[in-house]
């Protein structure tokens, strides 16, 4: 019986090798991840290479255009835009990972529980998901953050995660629902496996690619929401982020003064990170779903 | 159909209750003391005066009463349409301040959302049929939908406003004009409306185009499309059927995207100092006007709920299956 089972199911390592084969040949996936990786390394290594100078320090003459010394020029206060930019990238990735991670975790717990258990639990969780889905996320975050006196990146990520999970929970639930009646799940149930282990060992691995793609979309969404919050003036009270740079630039009339080097890089970086993630996501879809492969 | 609407209305009613409860809870259960904060912000130095203020605010919020009474009276004032007095524009009621701003936000959002939806669907359906178009529309769509709303607004304001000087970059109308129903004023209003509209429209457009393109490709692989093709139906006819089927998830998508679209409109208004709800929120935050902020929150929630319900109605009209009492596609 077990021998027959292992024969019908392909070797996991072979599956992985096949996915890798298509992954490295997928232009969208490679380009997307390359862009994200370059920006991530800039955010991780940049602050180390630039020394310990705090990003909001006044280091030079105000309103300098980009030059060899100040790559992205300086602000109206004489802060170095490039220093702010690399520190801001770090914050952006942190918020994305934290918000996206927490949202993915909640979505998985809710989705697995509702999809696998069904019944009354499913009804209750689906209702909860639908209710939170309808509430405009940013409006709730506005109220919460406005009442928080001191705001940090961690708390911002936490609240973004707590509010942006519903659509992902619905997706996970639907996938779980279609998997739970499969033969191998029945077999696991017959062999006396507990619910938690069935979900962890039989259901989740069969939708791991799907879960990963959901996380990528949640990551991108968190980055965008965080930048909106920062822009409205509810960003972290300490430090710097790409959204805060945009807020400062518009608040101190960089537009009217023509300081384009102040507001172009942060927005371009957010667009690049989120856009590259979306494109990589399409690539991943093609890798995992043979029907979508064009080659 | 009754079941479909019953379920929908239950979700919306629950959502409203949750929103009101959140609105009530956050000032009371957040770390820190909002009353102490307000007294501190007023900058009263005399202890006696500070104490009097403290007592006034505690009484005003009813913080000395049991929690359930506070909650009940919160609902009571809300249902009477009383959102409190704005601190920023003291002593104007919050509801008056908000109602003055709502037309601007609606005038910006409704055309931008509807037109981007229609144009995006057309564009996506167009892209799905030609490889060359697909290779240009798709990347552009991804860039647009990844763009933060405020950044595109800033870029447009700088490029078309400051550098080219074609459009004004701040306000809903020129400061030299008084609101009136003259052609000059309406033209000025339109002139100020173009850039915020364009920026909202463009960011939203990308997402719809991608969604429609993917749906059409999915629909063209389905059985009915193959059957029609086998019967020798022209490709145009098959695509028309695919388009109609692909529209349904796009309508659902519109409902799901409402929150994001509202958020986009808010930050776009802030960039252009457009006198809608977004600028109001900014002013409320800068002036620590929590009544105004919470009132705006309630208005946005109500607006989104109403829009959701309208989309449900449209869905019933468009999708005959919901009318026949079969399982509606919207869960």
ipTM value for the complex: 0.86
**Residue A63 in domain:** no
Class of domain B97-330: mainly alpha
B297/A143 CB distance under 8 A: yes
Domain count, chain A: 1
pTM: 0.88
- Is residue A151 domain-resident? yes
In this structure, is residue A52 part of a structural domain? no
Answer yes or no: is A64 within a domain: no
**Integer Cα distance of A69 and B41 in angstroms:** 42
* Lowest-confidence segment of A6-20, A136-150, B110-124 by average pLDDT: A6-20
Min Cα–Cα distance to chain A from B22, Å: 8
CB-based contact A148 B31, cutoff 8 Å: yes
Is A279 inside any structural domain? yes
Q: What is the mean pLDDT of residues A86-92?
A: 91
Mark yes or no for CB contact B151/A134 under 8 Å: no
| pLDDT recorded at residue A101 | 96
Residues of B in contact with A146 (CB under 8 A): 284-285, 290, 293
- pLDDT at site A3: 45
In a domain, A221, yes or no: yes
Whether the Cβ atoms of residue A229 and residue A205 lie closer than 8 Å to each other? no
The answer to whether A227 and A92 have CB atoms below 8 angstroms apart is yes
CATH of the domain at A208: 1.10.3720.10
Q: Is residue A147 part of a domain?
A: yes
Partner A, chain B 234-253, Cβ-Cβ below 8 Å: none
Chain position carrying tokens 């869960």: B331
- Please report the pLDDT score of residue A205 as a whole number: 86
Establish if A204 belongs to a structural domain. Answer: yes
A193 CA: distance to closest CA in chain B (Å): 31
Domain limits at A273?
26-46+79-289
B148 and A275 within 8 Å at the Cβ level: the answer is: no
Tokens of A167: 């659509």
List CB contacts of A160: < 8 A, sequence separation 6 or more.
A95, A98, A99, A102, A103, A137, A141, A222, A225, A226, A229
pLDDT reported for residue A48: 81
Among chain B residues, CA nearest to A271: B147
Distance CA B316, CA B1 (A): 8
Mean local confidence (pLDDT), A228-245: 89
**Which of A147, A231, A271 faces B30 most closely, judged by CB atoms?**
A147
User: What is the reported pLDDT for A5?
Assistant: 45
Q: How close, in Å, is residue B166 to chain A by CA atoms?
A: 14
Domain-wise residue ranges, chain B: 20-82, 97-330
Are the CB atoms for B61 and B291 separated by under 8 Å?
Answer: no
């Amino acid at each position: 019986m077990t021998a027959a089972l292992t024969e019908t199911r392909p070797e996991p390592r072979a599956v992985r090798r096949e996915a890798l084969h298509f992954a490295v040949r997928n232009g969208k996936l490679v380009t997307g991840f390359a862009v994200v990786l370059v920006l991530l390394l800039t955010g991780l290594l940049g602050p180390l290479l630039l020394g310990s100078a705090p990003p909001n320090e006044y280091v030079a003459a105000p309103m300098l255009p980009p030059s060899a010394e100040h790559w992205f020029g300086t602000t109206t206060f004489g802060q170095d835009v490039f220093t702010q930019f690399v520190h801001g990238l770090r914050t952006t990735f942190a918020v994305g990972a934290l918000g996206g991670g927490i949202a993915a975790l909640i979505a998985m717990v809710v989705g697995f529980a509702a999809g696998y258990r069904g019944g009354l639990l499913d009804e209750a969780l689906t209702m909860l998901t639908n209710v939170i889905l309808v509430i405009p996320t940013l409006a709730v975050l506005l109220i919460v953050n406005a009442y928080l006196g001191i705001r940090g990146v961690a708390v911002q990520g936490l609240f973004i995660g707590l509010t942006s999970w519903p659509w992902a929970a619905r997706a996970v639930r639907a996938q779980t629902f279609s998997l739970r009646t499969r033969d191998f799940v029945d077999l696991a149930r017959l062999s006396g496996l507990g619910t938690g282990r069935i979900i962890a060992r039989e259901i989740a691995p069969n939708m791991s690619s799907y879960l990963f793609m959901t996380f990528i979309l949640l990551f991108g969404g968190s980055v965008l929401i965080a930048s909106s919050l920062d822009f409205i003036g509810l960003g972290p009270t300490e430090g710097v982020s790409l959204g805060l740079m945009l807020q400062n630039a518009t608040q101190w009339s960089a537009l009217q003064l023509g300081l384009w080097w102040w507001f172009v890089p942060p927005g371009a970086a957010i667009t690049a990170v989120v856009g590259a993630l979306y494109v990589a996501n399409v690539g991943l879809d093609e890798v995992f779903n043979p029907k979508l492969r064009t080659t | 159909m009754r079941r479909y609407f019953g379920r929908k209305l239950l979700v919306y009613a629950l959502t409203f209750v949750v929103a009101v409860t959140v609105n009530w809870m956050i000032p009371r259960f957040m770390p820190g003391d909002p009353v102490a904060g307000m007294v501190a912000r007023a900058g009263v130095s005399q202890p006696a005066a500070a104490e009097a203020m403290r007592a006034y605010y505690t009484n005003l919020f009813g913080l000395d009463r049991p929690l359930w009474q506070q909650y009940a009276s919160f609902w009571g004032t809300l249902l009477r349409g009383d959102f409190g007095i704005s601190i920023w524009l003291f002593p104007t009621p919050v509801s008056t301040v908000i109602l003055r701003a709502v037309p601007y936000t609606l005038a910006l959002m409704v055309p931008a959302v509807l037109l981007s939806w229609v144009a995006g669907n057309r564009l996506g359906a167009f892209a799905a049929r030609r490889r060359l178009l697909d290779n240009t529309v798709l990347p552009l769509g991804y860039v647009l939908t990844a763009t933060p709303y405020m950044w595109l607004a800033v870029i447009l304001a700088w490029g078309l406003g400051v550098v080219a000087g074609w459009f004004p970059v701040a306000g809903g109308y020129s400061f030299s004009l008084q609101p009136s129903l003259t052609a000059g004023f309406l033209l000025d209003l339109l002139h100020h409306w173009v850039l915020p509209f364009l920026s909202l429209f463009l960011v939203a457009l990308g997402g719809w185009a991608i969604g429609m393109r993917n749906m059409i490709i999915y629909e063209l692989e389905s059985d009915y499309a193959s059957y029609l093709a086998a019967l020798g139906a022209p490709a145009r006819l098959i695509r028309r059927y695919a388009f109609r089927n692909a529209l349904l998830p796009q309508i659902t998508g519109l409902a799901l995207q409402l929150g994001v679209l509202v958020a986009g409109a808010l930050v776009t208004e802030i960039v252009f100092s457009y006198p809608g709800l977004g600028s109001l929120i900014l002013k409320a935050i800068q002036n620590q006007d929590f009544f105004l902020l919470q009132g705006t929150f309630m208005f946005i929630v109500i607006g989104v709920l109403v829009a959701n319900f309208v989309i449900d109605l449209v869905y019933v009209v468009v999708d005959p299956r919901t009318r026949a009492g079969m399982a509606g596609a919207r869960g």
